[in-house]
Structure 1
Amino acid sequence: MKKTAALTAAAILVCSAAHAATAVSIGISGWTGFAPLTLAKQAGIFEKNGLDVTIKKIPQASRHLALASGDVQCAATTVETWIVWNANGVPAIQIFQLDKSHGADGIAVRNDVSSVADLKGKTIAASAPGTSPYFFLAYILKENGLTMKDVNVVNLEPGPAAQAFVAGQNDAAMTYEPYLSTVRAAPDQGKILATTLDYPAVMDTFGCTPAFLKENPEAAKAFADSYFEALEMIKAEPEKSYGIMGADVKQSAEAFAGSAKFLEWQDKAANQTFFEGEFKSFSAKAADLLMEIGIIKTKPDLATIVDTSFIK
């Protein structure tokens, strides 16, 4: 009897070890596009799929430092930022797409600014070089025959940039949802000159360090599966989902739903289409612009900074 009990206990220990959740920390921001990751955490989807996830809110400008130090093993950021990180000595591999901005990123300007050309000589609040808002500003300017040398940039993160703008500071601000809605709600202070509807240059992906992916391929697959499950939950239980995601950024479910209208979360089918086409063309164009504005000195091999095996 004792022997049987001992064997049973041993079997339970082996089973528990086999199903032990993989502990992993991820670095994100309060950007609306990343919110399904928060939902996957809060709704128990990560846990169900064998992941013990710690979410850390880290500004994009320093997120790569957290990856390099091992403080986080995975992160969410824009496609061109992975190019910057890899070019500057922080190896990381994208494994699935999160979202595509459809008006959720933009530039707010005073009401006397009627075109991008009018930005010449203006003071614009934007995150530091190497971040999405900085890149997006450079992208908009280039598409209109201007360069970053034609404007004065004040480094502010998207939230503070929007707050400063509605408080009357600076001529323009680069920001994104949910902070862009702060500007939408204050028409007396200015207007939104252009967004990703005009310049489709902001798309986000999730990735991890090569070491984490090599050691934890099942966990990487679980991340992708969990994200897609979170999108299904949003469809099935929108009010509950928006409530959970909104609470994380101090928004009501209704306000968060309003922000979410300006982007499109990408399901598995959309992921597969994206990586076969737009991802490749945009990454090449982005790498050229990053070289031009001095963010990177050399281009990484773009084929080595993505692994789509986890979305198949």
Structure 2
Amino acid sequence: MKKGFFRKALLNTVLGTALAAVLGVAAGASAEAGTISLGHTTWVGYGPLYLARDLGYFKEQGLDLDLQVIEEASLYMAAAASGKLSGSASTIDEILKYRSPDFCFKAVVALDESYGGDGLVVSSDITSLAQLKGKTVALNEGSTSEFWLSYVLGQNGLSLKDIEISNMSADDAAAAFIARRVPAAVTWEPNLTNVRKGNHGKVLADSSSTPGVIVDVVALGCEVIEKQPKDVAALVNGLAKANAFIKANPEKAYEIMAKGVGGYLKDPKDFAESAKGVRFYDADTNKVYLGTAAAPGPIAELIKSADATWSTLGKTRMKVDYAAMVDPAFVTAQP
């Protein structure tokens, strides 16, 4: 791929009027010392970012964190590529597809892992993954849903080539499954609960069986990491304090995070219920999961697996590995 092609193509096709309207005043924020701006979708796992912000954990260290809800990965990654955002909160498998020689970013801290929050729903007559062979599965192509299913199939001697994919969003996939238009779908909460309660079929597998595979991280532009190390450290330290607060005061934490994240999670009860499907990553978990440059943690194998999956499907811009995708220095520097 020619140098510069990805950035130009991405910005020309995606970063237009709609993106500018979504970002608003955030444009240019990533260049300001003391400010970090992140794009992300609505997800329970991003609650600690709002908790640390609203409890003042970032502000007390001189950091102003600007969080922008953008419900499309290509949009917030385009904004990060152009410098309109400092980075993103997203799954590592999702964002590595956008890494290129011209678009450098690295994960500096892990936020959470899906632990039952994502899953595969099937009709009642399907009792094993082997029975999916030749059947249609509704899922969002190019997303974490496709990567996770590829991983699960691979663990059972199958591959994506063994099924027929019907491309649609995770919510639309759930709707199509409930309407019996497809025999299987990959989706997430609260759709999994709706399937279980509505007698629409069953959840054949969920992410509780694949810990450490669907992991959200904060990834920042390499220039941001280089020029704003104190701000990055403040971000990582603030998140560590937020996770300690969650353990000590879960009900209050859910209340604050629900208000911050908003959307379908604005009710603290709904947030608390969704939180059952994730595991938040505290400081100690981060140190183990990210590891060090000399001794990479489990995230290295996840990156290797995701790179192999997306490369096979022709969706990567360059070959990536731990060194290209992770900067563990801020996590390892914590006491």
Q: Identify the TM-score tier after normalising by the shorter chain.
A: 0.7 to 0.9
How many angstroms does 1:89 deviate by?
A: 5.0
How many angstroms does 1:165 deviate by?
A: 3.4
The percentage of counterpart residues that share the same residue type is 32
Q: What amino acid is the match of 1:126?
A: L
- 3-state SS, counterpart of residue 45 of structure 1: coil
Which of 1 and 2 has greater Rg? 1
Q: Distance in 1 between matches of 2:299 and 2:232?
A: 20
What residue number does 1:309 align with? 329
- After superposition, the Cα gap between the structure-2 partners of 1:308 and 1:297, relative to the gap in structure 1 and judged at 3 Å, is closer
How many angstroms does 1:74 deviate by?
A: 1.5
- Residue from 127, 133, 145 that aligns with 1:133: 145
- Residue from 239, 244, 251 that aligns with 1:232: 244
Q: What amino acid is the match of 2:274?
A: S
- After superposition, the Cα gap between the structure-2 partners of 1:223 and 1:103, relative to the gap in structure 1 and judged at 3 Å, is same
What residue number does 1:34 align with? 46
Q: Distance in 1 between matches of 2:272 and 2:280?
A: 13
Give deviations 1:234-284, integer Å, cap 9, x for gaps: 123211221232341334322322221222111111111112221222222
TM-score w.r.t. the length of structure 1 is: 0.83
Q: Distance in 2 between matches of 1:88 and 1:178?
A: 38
Q: Distance in 1 between matches of 2:174 and 2:313?
A: 24
- After superposition, the Cα gap between the structure-2 partners of 1:192 and 1:92, relative to the gap in structure 1 and judged at 3 Å, is same
Kindly report which structure 2 residues correspond to 1:130-279, keeping only aligned pairs within 5 A, or say none.
131-186=143-198, 188-200=199-211, 201-247=213-259, 248-251=262-265, 252-276=267-291, 277-279=297-299
| Residue 100 in structure 1 maps to residue 133 in structure 2 | no
What residue number does 1:64 align with? 77
- After superposition, the Cα gap between the structure-2 partners of 1:31 and 1:299, relative to the gap in structure 1 and judged at 3 Å, is same
How many angstroms does 1:87 deviate by?
A: 4.4
Asked if structure 1 preserves the Cα contact closer than 8 Å seen for 2:110 and 2:216, the reply is: yes
- After superposition, the Cα gap between the structure-2 partners of 1:89 and 1:171, relative to the gap in structure 1 and judged at 3 Å, is farther
Give deviations 1:37-87, integer Å, cap 9, x for gaps: 122233333333322222222223443222112232121122223432214
Q: Distance in 1 between matches of 2:186 and 2:218?
A: 22
List gaps (5 residues or longer) in structure 2.
1-31, 292-296
List gaps (5 residues or longer) in structure 1.
1-19
- After superposition, the Cα gap between the structure-2 partners of 1:120 and 1:212, relative to the gap in structure 1 and judged at 3 Å, is same
The CA RMSD measured in Å over matched residues stands at 2.4
Q: Distance in 1 between matches of 2:167 and 2:182?
A: 11
What residue number does 1:55 align with? 67
Asked if structure 1 preserves the Cα contact closer than 8 Å seen for 2:38 and 2:67, the reply is: yes
How many angstroms does 1:29 deviate by?
A: 1.4
How many angstroms does 1:192 deviate by?
A: 0.9
TM-score w.r.t. the length of structure 2 is: 0.78
Asked if structure 2 preserves the Cα contact closer than 8 Å seen for 1:24 and 1:54, the reply is: yes
